[in-house]
C-alpha cells in the first residue's frame, strides 16, 4: 500500500509500505478517504515539528472499511464501514479521572502525534473506531470528524433553540458550526470576508454577511431587537474576529473560541465585566459528540457533499495542500487513499 509522508519538507513523499497486521485489540482499516484540515497545513510548514514524528503519516479525518480484525476484537467484521475518533488519552491524569478524557493532560492525536489516515492501510486500536450507516457514502463520511468538532463547539456554548448565534468565519468548521447550530433550532448569521465562502454558505441555506461591507454591530443590534446575541463562535483565528465576537454579545453572552490562535489576543475586559460575558474554550470532541456527528451527516442536517470541493489521489497530496492554502475557491479537499493515479 502507499502512504503520503511528511518529512519536514512541504513536499509530501509518496512511499510504498507493507500493511501492518493488527495485534490484539486492533483493527486494520482500508482507508477510503482522508480529509485535510488547518492543523495539517500547520504541520506541513513545520509549526508542529515538536510533536510530529519523523516520516509521519498525517490525517485525522477519515472513512474506510474494516480489512482485518485482531485477536479479541468484537463486534467488528471485515467490510464494516467505519470512521476513527483519533484521540488517545492516558486515563490516569486529573482530567481523565474527572471524566474529561478528550482534554487529557498528555493527549495524543492520531494523525499528529501518531501515524494517521493518509495511507491505503491503517492499523488502529479498536476502541477508537466508530461504525457508519451502510448507506452513507464514504466520501461524505470523511466529514464526520470535523462535524464532531462543530457538535462539541455548539454543546459547549449551551445554545438553546430560538437563540441567535453569530459565527465569525465561514470556513469549513465555521459552516459546520452554523449548520449544527441550525439543527438545534438556533437562528444563525455567518460573518465571512471571502466571496467564495459566502457563496457556499448561501447555498447551504445560511444567512451570511460581509463584515467589510456591513456594520456588524448595528446589524446584530437590529437582528436581536437591541439585546445583542446570546452566543458568538470565534472561528476566524484573527484578532479582528475576537473583537467582533465580543462586541456582538448581549448581557451574559457566551463567546466560544473555536479557532486556534497562535499568539495572544487582546480582549475587551471592560465589556466582559459590564455584560457579565463568558469566554469558553473548546478542544476536539467526546465520543458522544462523534456519535451525534455521524447521525447529522447521515441524516443530511450537515450537507457534507456540498462542502467537498475536490477529491485527489494520494499522489496528488502536495497539490491538494497547496490548493487549500491558495484559497482559490476551495472549501474541503479529500484524498482518495485507494486511487491508483
Which residues are identified as catalytic?
Answer: 39, 42
3-state secondary structure 185-244: CCEEEEECCCHHHHHHHHHCCCEEECCCCCCHHHHHHHHCCCCCEEEEEECCCCHHHHHH
The enclosing H or E element of 121 equals strand 121-125
Those residues whose C-beta lies under 8 Å from the C-beta of residue 88, and which sit 6 or more positions away, are 107, 108, 109, 110, 113, 114, 125, 128
Q: CA 151, 209, 308, 4 torsion: positive or negative? A: negative
CA nearest to 147, candidates 83, 202, 89, 192: 83
For residue 268, give the DSSP letter. -
Q: CA 29, 34, 40, 45 torsion: positive or negative? A: positive
Amino acid at each position: 500500500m502507499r502512504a503520503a509522508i511528511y518529512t519536514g519538507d512541504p513536499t509530501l513523499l509518496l512511499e510504498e509500505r507493507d500493511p501492518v497486521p493488527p495485534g490484539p485489540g486492533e483493527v486494520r482499516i482500508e482507508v477510503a478517504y482522508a480529509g485535510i484540515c488547518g492543523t495539517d497545513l500547520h504541520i506541513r510548514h513545520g509549526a508542529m515539528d515538536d510533536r510530529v514524528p519523523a516520516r509521519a503519516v498525517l490525517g485525522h479525518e477519515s472513512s474506510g472499511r474494516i480489512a482485518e480484525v485482531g485477536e479479541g476484537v468484537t463486534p467488528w467484521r471485515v467490510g464494516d464501514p467505519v470512521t476513527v475518533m483519533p484521540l488517545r488519552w492516558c486515563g490516569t491524569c486529573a482530567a481523565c479521572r474527572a471524566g474529561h478524557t478528550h482534554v487529557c493532560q498528555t493527549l495524543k492525536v492520531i494523525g499528529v502525534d501518531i501515524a494517521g489516515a493518509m495511507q491505503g492501510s491503517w492499523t488502529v486500536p479498536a476502541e477508537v473506531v466508530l461504525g457508519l450507516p451502510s448507506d452513507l457514502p464514504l466520501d461524505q463520511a470523511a466529514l464526520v470528524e470535523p462535524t464532531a468538532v462543530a457538535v462539541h463547539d455548539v454543546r459547549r456554548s449551551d445554545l438553546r433553540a430560538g437563540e441567535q448565534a453569530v459565527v465569525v468565519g465561514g470556513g469549513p468548521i465555521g459552516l459546520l458550526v452554523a449548520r449544527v447550530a441550525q439543527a438545534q433550532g438556533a437562528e444563525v448569521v455567518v460573518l465571512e470576508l471571502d466571496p467564495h465562502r459566502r457563496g457556499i454558505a448561501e447555498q447551504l441555506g445560511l444567512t451570511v454577511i460581509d463584515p467589510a461591507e456591513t456594520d456588524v454591530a448595528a446589524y446584530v443590534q437590529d437582528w436581536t431587537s437591541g439585546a445583542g446575541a446570546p452566543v458568538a463562535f470565534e472561528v476566524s483565528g484573527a484578532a479582528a474576529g475576537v473583537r467582533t465576537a465580543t462586541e456582538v454579545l448581549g448581557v451574559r453572552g457566551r463567546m466560544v473560541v473555536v479557532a486556534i490562535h497562535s499568539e495572544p489576543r487582546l480582549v475587551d475586559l471592560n465589556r466582559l465585566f459590564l455584560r457579565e460575558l463568558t469566554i469558553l474554550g473548546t478542544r476536539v470532541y467526546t465520543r458522544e459528540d462523534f456519535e451525534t456527528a455521524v447521525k447529522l451527516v447521515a441524516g443530511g442536517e450537515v450537507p457534507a457533499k456540498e462542502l467537498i470541493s475536490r477529491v485527489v489521489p494520494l499522489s496528488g497530496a502536495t497539490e491538494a495542500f497547496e490548493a487549500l492554502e491558495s484559497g482559490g475557491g476551495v472549501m474541503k479537499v479529500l484524498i482518495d487513499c485507494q486511487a491508483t493515479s
